[in-house]
A = this chain, B = another copy of it.
């Protein structure tokens, strides 16, 4: 990594780009109140971690953020993430009144509106990708995003999380939950960025390995940041409860090493390496 690389400098314009892209994809919805509700969770902001991974993976194989399919992939991943938050916040799910200091969609409008907003954001993710080309590069991105988001990925993880599979008592169950709930989309973001950027099969494989490691590391880091080993049996299951703070931290470091190792196969992975380190230090 070049010593002068600044993740903040790199990320700023890319965040602005994906924000503008999402707004443009949702512009002109009707009725007007629905357009407002659609834009609300997008305008609430966020670190745009998943689109940044996507841009970084494309860059790692030589494609810039202006390539239409790279931008669409980054935006589609964030639309899926945003829809999942809107549905998650519903009273019948996590029941959150605020997100990023603002009322959630269902608090500001209604539960029904929040259901529809989530449905529309999810649908638009696929629609936007499908309006890009070339077809033989865009279609696998649709397939991968669906796989990561649906019952085999994120929604499947949510089903475990709301207890449909009974209590989670071991590491295997916890990994399965989080691989679905958060890991699958993070892994897909890296894969999709590389694929949109024109990665060859070897590069795509490296991106997939790095993404898979980061997906799990992300959740462990979250648990470490929220660490409370004394919480006992109360609260949700976590890596810290299972392995302790030191054990969880060691596992996250090992995954970071695994990701960094995989990235050695990619020619321009500065940003992706910086994001991998950032994965362990933040809470997004």
Q: Which residues does A use to contact B, with CB under 8 Å?
A: 26, 29-34, 37-38, 83, 87, 90, 92-93, 109-113, 115-116, 118-120, 122-124, 126-131, 133, 135-136, 138-140, 142-143, 145-147, 149-152, 155-156, 158-160, 162, 164-166
Contact = CB atoms under 8 A, between A and B. Distances in A.
A119 B93 CA distance: 13
Task: Give how many copies assemble into the complex.
Answer: 2
Contact of A116 (B31, B126, B138, B155): B155
A113 B156 CA distance: 11
A33 B149 CA distance: 19
A111 B162 CA distance: 11
Main secondary structure of the interface of A (DSSP, over half): helix
Given A122-B122, A130-B146, 4 more contacts: A33-B164, A87-B116, A87-B119, A136-B136
Nearest to A150: B123
A12 to B, nearest CB: 29
B131 A143 contact: yes
Nearest to A127: B146
A187 to B, nearest CB: 16
A147 B127 contact: yes
